[in-house]
Amino acid sequence: MIGHTQVLAIEPVGRITVKFKNEGNIDRTLRIIVGAALISLVFVGPETPWGWVGLLPLITGVVGYCPAYSLLGINTNGVKE
- Give per-residue pLDDT as tens, 3-50: 443 455 555 666 665 568 999 999 999 999 999 999 999 999 999 999
Query: How many distinct structural domains can be found in the chain?
Result: 1
65 lies in a domain? Answer: yes
61 lies in a domain? Answer: yes
**Rounded to a whole number, what is the largest CA-CA distance in the chain?**
44
State the pLDDT at residue 8: 53
What is the extent of the structural domain holding 34?
Answer: 8-72
21 lies in a domain? Answer: yes
pLDDT digits (tens, 9 = 90+) for 42-76: 999 999 999 999 999 999 999 999 999 999 999 99
The residues with which 17 forms a beta bridge, in sequence order, are 9
1 lies in a domain? Answer: no
77 lies in a domain? Answer: no
57 lies in a domain? Answer: yes
50 lies in a domain? Answer: yes
Question: Which H/E stretch holds residue 29?
Answer: helix 25-43
80 lies in a domain? Answer: no
